[in-house]
Amino acid sequence: MAGTVRLILAFHNHQPIGNFDGVFEQAYEDSYLPFLDTLEQYPEIRFALHTSGSLLEWLESAHPEYINRVRTLVTRGQVEIIGGAYYEPILANIPRRDRIGQIRMYTDHLQNLFQTDVRGMWIPERVWEQSFTGDVTAAGIKYTILDDHHFRAGGLEPEELSGYYLTEDEGRLLSVFPGSEHLRYLIPFREPHETIDFLRHVANNNENPIVVFGDDGEKFGTWPETYRHVYEDRWLKRFLTALQENSSWINVTTPSETLDHVPPRGTFYIPDASYREMTEWSLPTGRQAELSRLSHQERHDDADWENLKTFSSGGFWRNFRVKYPESNEMYTRALGISAQIEELEQTLGKEHGVLQQATRCLYRAQCNCSYWHGAFGGLYLPHLRNAVYASLIEADNLLQSIIRQDGPWVDYSLGDFNLDGRKEVLLSNHRMAAFFAPACGGQMYELDLRNCHTNLLATLNRREEAYHQTVIDHAEHLREHGEQQEEQVNSIHDLVRFKQPDLDRKIAYDNWPRKSLIDHFMQPNLALDDFHAGHGLLGRQSEVSYEGTILPGEGSVTLEMKGRAEFIGAEVEVTKSVTLSEASPNEVQIRYQLDGLPLQVPVHFGVEFNFASMPGGASDRYYYDTAGMQLGTLDMRLDLKQTSRLGLVDEWQGVDVSLESSQEADIWTFPIETISQSESGFELVHQSVAVVPHWQFAMEDSSPWIVELTLNLDTSLAQARKLAEMGSERDTSDNQVPVS
């Protein structure tokens, strides 16, 4: 007699904070809506649905009818709602208090919205550490779904994965279902009968087995070529019909129904892991390429090779913060905001209205997509990083409104803000906040504009990625053989597509941080092209440790940083001072002094600034000169001679940045563009612009060389727009239509 099997289908729908409204809408039209349209026609096919809070908020506003239809399916017992952390953070990337807070907040919202109990949660990217057990159970969660990769890495055999397990931390129990990696690659890419055949094999070789499919809903229409495959070619209907036709032995059910009727297979402590691909992506680039080669090579001469591969665990998710320092910058900034909120809650209470607003902003900033990179754009997408900083800056503004009295102010603080074991400095006033790392070349690594919630230093370095070799190899193949048509729909993990031509020729890597106040001693007469390529530096001043001193003033504060530079056999002292004030709150005053320069020797000195959050290639984002004349869009290379001022404008954001010099300078500008992987292919992404004033001179005497720079940050247009929007919101707030 043929065996039976319980099949749990769990679909995870997500769009990150900061994604474009058009992307939300397209995903809705391509995936979420047609998927719901189809499943409604199969009421006996039960499934579990997780929707991230960022997507759910958009759906509640843009498509309340979708929410109502899902609620109907919940009421008739076809859908089980899975909860989670509200804004889809990686649990390893936020402190315990925020894990519990986000889960509880989202559970409350889902239960009120859908009028149902929420017992389970989706673990974002299935990034798991065993200590999370205590946190998620403290938040009221009873079960979750992880990949079978987690269980296999812990030593379980394939035949032991046909059920769920209890896991425990400090006496708290959590039920955990292993999701099938094999099904992730079958559904929806292979024909339905292959899934049926797999389930039949499981049913015939296990006693009362449970098989779980848990994966992205975007695979059903949004991923490349899947809309045609899933809906136009009727894959989804054929799959659901096949499940119906085999319902005598395939019981399509939900996690809660299974928990209520099937006992666990036992207790298992799950090792720290994620899905297999994620553990590869989190490795250093060189080791990632090596693991990929080892994992995919054929070893016909070694019968134990398949078993050995099980124990190649890959990397650890938290090391994304090491691989990408920009991820660590966002993470540590969010940690600081979280700690401030917790401290203020001790005196003001958690019910304080402004603190609750700040907490929600913090939670939004913890959305995971901007903090890592794999098959999706993630960290490489500037609009996602900008959204993180926008929420963090808004949270900071709210906290400052509690801490400070109304009116102008200026302040400073010291601390290991980026958790590198060294002291950083924060200079701030009522218009901006600037973070400096004296020990790292005295660089300014974050510059927040409070009015427009923008970090002008949300930059990203160009660095080697394991897939860059794929770009190079595939480009050479295309030039030799031309484009070849794919005969089947592939997973995004297997796609090779170029969104722009000649990407292999644009791969470049940065040798120093693309931040601001990066000091350069350069070869005389160095050309822009050579500097852009990373050549011609005399030493690496960005790696020199500067000593920082705070000089408080009346209505101002100055950070003075001193460092040493080896120059033509001489030891030069570099002193740079940065001042913020109440009287000129939109200005950063910068003073450089070079002492000990050799006499009658050509000196070529430059100071690099980088500006992110200002896209290139758009007509309303441009450079302008001392006369206010436009010089071109922000993706242009400029080699300006003997000028005292250069401006950058982003009309869309309402930001006007100008840099003025007390000594006329030559100025280089060029875009920083990365070659990165996304679900739709390899692409060129504008990250920031570099602006490098530089001076060539020779000292006639032993006096110091001095230049003063003024960075003016005009956000008055952004502030005017903000006030207008606030007035419009007040006018329309009484006309809001709630979801029924």
The string of DSSP letters for 533-592 reads: TT--BSS-GGGSPPEEEEEEETTEEEEEEEEEEEETTEEEEEEEEEEEESSSTTEEEEEE
Q: What is the pLDDT of residue 735?
A: 47
User: Which residues belong to the active site?
Assistant: 125, 216
The distance from CA 272 to its chain's CA centroid, rounded to whole angstroms, is: 21
pLDDT band at 311 (very low <50, low <70, confident <90, very high): low
Q: What is the mean pLDDT of residues 320-347?
A: 98
Nearest to 677 by CA among 291, 379, 367: 379
Pick the CATH number of 5-268 from 3.40.50.720, 3.20.110.20, 3.40.50.1390, 3.40.50.1100: 3.20.110.20
Q: What is the pLDDT of residue 539?
A: 92
Q: Please, what sign has the CA dihedral across residues 70, 75, 78, 79? A: positive
User: What average pLDDT does the chain have?
Assistant: 94
Q: What is the pLDDT of residues 462-512, one digit of tens each?
A: 999 999 999 999 888 887 877 665 555 555 555 678 889 999 999 999 999
| Structure-block tokens of residue 377 | 């754009």
209, amino acid identity: P
Pairing relationship of beta strands 143-147 and 120-122 according to DSSP bridges: parallel
Nearest to 608 by CA among 389, 428, 441: 441
Q: What is the pLDDT of residue 299?
A: 53
- Continuous segment of H or E residues that includes residue 511: none
Instruction: Give the Cβ contact number of residue 161 at 10 Å.
Output: 24
Pairing relationship of beta strands 603-612 and 681-697 according to DSSP bridges: antiparallel
Rounded to whole angstroms, the Cα distance separating 75 from 470 reads: 49
Q: What is the pLDDT of residue 729?
A: 60
Where in the chain are the domains? 5-268, 468-504, 509-715
Q: What is the mean pLDDT of residues 643-664?
A: 97
Query: Which residues touch 191 (CB under 8 Å, ≥6 apart)?
Result: none
pLDDT at position 297 over 90: no
Q: What is the pLDDT of residue 304?
A: 67
Cα torsion for 32, 37, 42, 48, to the nearest 10°?
20
Lowest-pLDDT choice from 55-69, 202-216, 300-314, 628-642: 300-314
Rounded to whole angstroms, the Cα distance separating 671 from 611 reads: 10
pLDDT band at 259 (very low <50, low <70, confident <90, very high): very high
pLDDT at position 720 over 90: no
Contact between residue 438 and residue 548 where contact means Cβ atoms under 8 Å apart:
yes
Cα torsion for 581, 584, 585, 590, to the nearest 10°?
-60
Listing DSSP states for 69-86 in one string gives: HHHHHHHTTSEEEEEE-T
Fold of domain 509-715: Beta-galactosidase; Chain A, domain 5 (2.70.98)
pLDDT band at 739 (very low <50, low <70, confident <90, very high): very low
Work out the percent of the chain whose per-residue pLDDT is above 90: 86
Q: What is the mean pLDDT of residues 629-651?
A: 97
Q: What is the pLDDT of residues 128-144, one digit of tens each?
A: 999 999 999 999 999 99
Q: What is the pLDDT of residues 158-213, one digit of tens each?
A: 999 999 999 999 999 999 999 999 999 999 999 999 999 999 999 999 999 999 99
- Residue owning tokens 């700690």: 339
3-state secondary structure of 285: helix
Rounded to whole angstroms, the Cα distance separating 653 from 423 reads: 33
Q: What is the pLDDT of residue 673?
A: 97
Q: What is the pLDDT of residue 474?
A: 87
The distance from CA 128 to its chain's CA centroid, rounded to whole angstroms, is: 18
| Structure-block tokens of residue 590 | 């910068």
Q: What is the pLDDT of residue 438?
A: 99
* pTM of structure: 0.94
Q: What is the pLDDT of residues 97-127, one digit of tens each?
A: 999 999 999 999 999 999 999 999 999 999 9
| Structure-block tokens of residue 614 | 């200002």
146, amino acid identity: L
Question: At 329, phi and psi to the nearest 5?
Answer: -60, -45
| Structure-block tokens of residue 9 | 């289908």
Q: What is the pLDDT of residue 268?
A: 98
